[in-house]
Each structure stands twice: as C-alpha cells, then as structure tokens.
Amino acid sequence: MKILIANRGEIAIRIMRTCREMGLPTVAIYSDVDRNALHTRYADEAISIGPTKASESYLNIPNILDAAKRVKATAIHPGYGFLSENPDFGQAVEDAGIKFIGPKPKTMAIFGDKISARKAARKAGLLVLPGPDQPLAEDVHITELDKSLSYPVLVKAASGGGGKGIRLIRSEEELMDVVDLARKEAFAAFGDGTIYIEPLVQRARHIEVQILGDGKGKILTFGERECSIQRRHQKLIEEAPGPNLSDDEKNCIVGAARQLGETMKYRSLGTVEFLMDEDHQFYFIEVNPRIQVEHPVTEMITGVDLIQEQIQLAATGELTLDQSDITYNGAAIEARILAEDPDENFLPTTGEISYLKEPGGPGIRVDSSLYQGMRVSTDYDSLLAKVIAFGNDRKTAIRRLLRGLMEYQIGGLKTDLTFLTQVLESHPYQTGNINTTFLDEFLPEDQIPDESLARDAAIAAVLHIHNERTRAVEDNKNKSQWRQAAWHEQLKTK
C-alpha cells in the first residue's frame, strides 16, 4: 500500500510516522505556501497540488486525485479538517479505485448532516438533546416548534461540525437577528445555509468516545476523553480518562457509542461526542467520522497506535484487536499550541519562527509542524503543535505537562503557551471541576515571575545592548585603522 496523505501540518506528519514504522511508502501534498513544510520533507514523495488558497489546493478534489494517480498511490488518508468529512471526496477516491482510509461515504453523509446524525442516534436508542430533528424554517418562533425548549438555545449549522457554525440565542428578541446571521454564516462556511436548534446545556461537560469499527458490525471502544476546556467551541486542552466520572457513567457513555457504531455498521475510526449535564445525564451531540486532533491521549493510556489499526483495517478489512486487548493505564493530557494571542482575544498571530526548542523526556509526546525559519501565516488552521503528557495518575500528568510546556521555547511568534500553563495551574482544572464555559469565566492570574528571574531578564537585556555597543565600537576602531592604512598607502603613491 502506498498512502497519499491529503492533509498538512502535524497530523500529516503523525500519519506518516506510523506509515514509516509499518514500512509503507508515503506521499505528501502541498500548496504553494507549504512547499518547504515539514510534512513535505518527512514523506517519501511530495507533490504540489495548487495555490495557497485551501479551496484550490487542500480542498481541491480533482487536483488531489490527479496527484494520487500520478504517483500511483493506492490509498488516501484524509487526516482531520479539509476533506476528511466530505462524503463526495470519499466516494470520488473509491470510484478512482483508490482505498479511502475512513468511513464508508454513505456513513459520512449521514453524520455530515447534523440533523440526520441526530435522527440516526435517536433511532439507535441514544438519548439526544431535545429539539426538532428538522431544519429551522424561515420566520418561525422556537416556542411554536417545541414546547420543551426554552432560552437560551444554540443555533447550529447542519453541515457544520468540529465546533464551527454555532451561535447562542439568549432571548426571543435576539432570535430573528441571530438566526439570519447564522444562516448566512453557515452558507458562507459550508455552502449550506441549513440550521437547526438545540437547547444550551448550562455548565455542561464535553465527553466523547473513541470507536473503531470493521464496517460489518464489530465495534471496538477505546474509552472516553474529556474535552471541556474550549474557546468559541474550539478545544484547547483534552484528557483521558474523564476525571470525576464513576465506572457506571463511563460504561453508560461508552455503551451508547458502541450501540450507535454497531447499528450503523461503522467502518474505521470515529468519535461519538456527548454533552453531560450537571446531573451527569449524557446527551448525544454529533459524530466526527475521522481521526481527531486529541487522539493521542487515548493512544497514551491504551498503548494502541490508532492510525496503525486504521490502516491495518483498510488494508485487510479485518480488525487485529479484540475488545479484551484494550486496557487502560494512567492518565494523559494534551495541550494545543496555537498561533493565537491570548492577550488580544486570541487573534491569530503571524511571524517567522526564529528559535525553536521542543520538549522531551519521560512521558512527553510532541506532535509538531514547527521548524526554525518557518513562516507562520493565517492561511490555514492556527494549530502549530500538540504536547501530550502521560502520568500514572492525573496529578502526575498535569505536573509533567507543565514541565513540558516550560521546556517549549518558540521565538518570533506569540503563542498560547503561557495561557495553557495558567489554565493547568488553576484550582478548578487541578481538581477536575471543569465545564465548557470554564474558559469564558477564566481570568488568568497576573503573572508575577520570581524576583531572581526578573532580575536575570533585566541583566540579560542590558548585557545584550552593552555587548552590541561594545562590538560596534570595536568594529569602528578597526575601520578607522583600515582608513588610516589606506591614507598612508595613498601618501606613498603620491
């Protein structure tokens, strides 16, 4: 099998690493701006697929298929984001006689539409958040739709997912304005203006379950992940196992995910996402039919390489593991390193990486796309790298992750590194007392560095200026000597 990875950044490299271990040749694709990117160098072959604009490169199905045919790739891995959840892409790949390392296109179509996903989950017997399983019609009041709904509610894009295309409506007065805006946003982002309504679960936790299915009804589950530390519905810190959950609660949520997977005869890797309310009641929200950003925390506590199992399945059609092979050990936490400025409301940052030192040592995994000299632009996602820490228990994992983040040095670009440290050090996080509104209310404490560090920083800055000036003076002296010598030479010749 020769695998083309239809993605970029850290996830492309992560997939190639497993391919290399399995002895499988890899092909990278790249847009103009990515021509020197790390993933193009890691792959055995790399091929240009178009201009920087994603719609003309990483989202361009004909170009990617053409590239796959040119290098004679026999399989395509879509990674996450870009075309990974696009059933047309999956279908086009299979129609071209190339293996698609992912779910069946018709499964992707069901889960790609969040309304049909809710229907499928309800049919499989899962508890789904109340609300109509139909698109929101024009000019309609929520109260007329469903008496069980009350404000605040969320309006979501049916073609959305991954936390994108979600808006909050707090009162009936806001309803029509927000609905209008949401419809336009959904159309702009996903080419589909269909929206639907879900109640907002206050102080909810986001818990999800990793599954792997053989497409014939056999489902393996790999336990749950806790992903409540989110900003604008984008996850920032994830962990496994879920803290402060009883065994019964874990069994209940994992069982629900298995039930859905079995009913759908789900193929490949997938994540079933749930919200847990304050009474620890779970509600299905959506399925991500692809590998997820936060998959490493599951790999750390199970010791299973999920990408390897996924490729193995695509190659043979059979799972190599049984449920009894999957055991859990310790705790793992992932922090996302983003090109975003926490001091400027998480606006994207750009720059050239002038210095880079990545963490290492016991229990630390770094999945990164960074290199010194890299120009970080706003063309794609702001995710630069992930640091994942493993510990025998949650407390150890937190300590280790903090140590890893301390070791991470990125020059030339502002990132969220300090902010991540502040969250991990906060009391609510340390005690596992978290929910999806945690970051809305989180105010990082003023950073008061050690007096000795502040003094060292002051000395370093002064010595830097002083050394620069001393050197400039020396240079000038040397220049004067040269000038004098030249003058003497001139006198001699006269």
Distance CA 266, CA 104 (A): 8
**Which amino acid, one-letter code, is at 105?**
P
Rounded to a whole number of angstroms, the distance between the first and last alpha carbons of the chain is: 80
Does residue 123 bind other proteins (CB under 8 A)?
no
Q: Which of 36, 327, 409, 433 binds other proteins (CB under 8 A)?
A: 409
Least Å distance, CB 299 to other proteins, is 26
Give 412-456 as a DSSP string. Answer: SS--SHHHHHHHHHSHHHHTT---TTHHHH--PPP----HHHHHH
Contact assessment for residue 210 and residue 271, using Cβ atoms and an 8 Å cutoff:
yes
Q: In angstroms, what is the minimal distance from the CB of 442 to other proteins?
A: 19
- Give 437's contacts (C-beta < 8 A, 6+ positions apart): 202, 203
Least CB distance from residue 403 to other proteins, whole Å?
Answer: 9
Using CB under 8 A, pick the residue from 168, 347, 463, 486 that binds other proteins.
463
CA distances from 196 to 73, 111, 170, 191, 469 (A): 40, 15, 15, 15, 64
Among positions 331-370, residues that touch other proteins (CB under 8 A) are: 354-355
* Contacting residue, 465, 484, 485, 487, with other proteins by CB under 8 A: 465
- Residues 168, 181, 406, 486: which binds other proteins (CB under 8 A)? 406
Residue 103 to residue 23: CA distance in whole angstroms: 24
Known active-site residue 290:
yes
Of 311 and 417, the one with the shorter C-beta distance to other proteins is 417
Site string for other proteins, 71-100 (x = CB under 8 A): ------------------------------
Among 148, 447, 490, 493, binds other proteins (CB under 8 A): 447
Catalytic residue among 267, 290, 336, 394: 290
For 66, half-sphere exposure in the C-beta direction (CA atoms, 13 angstrom radius) is 10
Tell me: does residue 411 bind other proteins (CB under 8 A): yes
Segment contacting other proteins (CB under 8 A): 185-193, 291-299, 306-314, 410-418?
Answer: 410-418
Binding flag, residue 462, other proteins (CB under 8 A): yes
Nearest to 290 by CA among 103, 121, 160, 111: 103
Using the minimum distance from each CB to other proteins, give the nearer residue, 251 or 354. 354
By beta-carbon proximity to other proteins, the closer residue of 111 and 346 is 346
CA neighbours closer than 13 Å in the CB half-sphere of residue 19: 27
Q: Which residues of the shown chain bind other proteins in the complex (CB under 8 A)?
A: 354-355, 405-409, 411-412, 417-418, 421, 447-449, 451, 453-470, 472-473, 476-477
